Structure 1
């Protein structure tokens, strides 16, 4: 993942608020926001971790406190914050937490934690967005079947196979034609001369 796009803000208050939050979401995908400076170097910066929203489906509301939620979400990644609907308990179907996770990892569908009675509880985890790694070009943001390099390579391979198939068909037709003509094509051209000799 990279970051290098400057974004203008309308007011100092808006700028301060955005920078303070540090992470903005667009189409459920994270955008890392940092303050601009006159001497800043606008270069692509490689990232090995990324923040993503997770949903702890059906999590008992008694675990929605900051301490318990931090421990449970910490089993997935580094907890950053919960959304307002979770902290205000306005939506009871799941707890939503922003966590920082490494790129190109296997992301769990559930985690295990021990409750206050010493019982192991399996908690379902849903990712709102996962960083998708293309195995062809090794870039994030698209799958293999959507990779332009892969599509181009497949088209080239198909064109080569088609050309090779046409060449094989032509060779087969030439062989069939040769077999129909017989082993000695020159004998047919000499036949009229033989018939003339027999007439004398």
Structure 2
């Protein structure tokens, strides 16, 4: 089952028809995808194109404010372990000085406790400067930092 992902929403299990509609609206795919409900609040996503799988895995997705955790399906897939190694997490940095609003800095911060995924269009365009926000695949076995300190020639931010 190449080009197949397994996903689970953390807080609720939406109806499969709603997930199909959401996928069609949110994932701008080149090919098609089939969505199936599975036991244990899991969903199976079967893609035609590998590039669509890569696109979906490169994003942070949420439905009705519930994060979707995704991983590639593999022979012997075990949802109790395979989906819980990492989880998508939106990091929000309030009061961050504009000199630190840079995707390279967000990547450095995100990679300190997982894998940087990216920023959304609002942050990239700097159209909302109330807080910085980016997505990481957090490694669940790591302790998340309570704070970080950034230092520059202009001073520091914690």
TM-score of the superposed pair, with normalisation by structure 2: 0.55
Q: Of 42, 50, 56, which residue of structure 2 is paired with 1:21?
A: 56
Q: Of 57, 61, 66, which residue of structure 1 is paired with 2:103?
A: 66
Q: Of 46, 64, 77, which residue of structure 2 is paired with 1:43?
A: 77
1:58–1:94 Cα contact (<8 Å) kept: yes
Alignment of 1:36-185 (within 5 A): 41=75, 43-45=77-79, 46-47=81-82, 48-117=85-154, 119-122=155-158
TM-score of the superposed pair, with normalisation by structure 1: 0.45
Task: For 1:28 and 1:115, locate their aligned partners in 2 and report how far apart those are by CA, in whole Å.
Answer: 36
CA shift, 1:42, in A, is 7.3
Name the CA shift for 1:89/1:113 in 2 (closer, same or farther; >3 Å).
Answer: same
Alignment length (residue pairs): 115
Which one has more relative contact order, counting CA pairs under 8 Å at least 6 apart? 2
Task: For 1:91 and 1:18, locate their aligned partners in 2 and report how far apart those are by CA, in whole Å.
Answer: 29
Larger strand percent: 2
1:4–1:42 Cα contact (<8 Å) kept: no
CA deviation string 1:90-112 (max 9, x = no partner) = 11111111112221543223111
1:18–1:33 Cα contact (<8 Å) kept: no
Task: For 2:139 and 2:101, locate their aligned partners in 1 and report how far apart those are by CA, in whole Å.
Answer: 25
Name the CA shift for 1:107/1:43 in 2 (closer, same or farther; >3 Å).
Answer: same
CA shift, 1:57, in A, is 1.1
1:56–1:96 Cα contact (<8 Å) kept: yes
CA shift, 1:77, in A, is 3.1
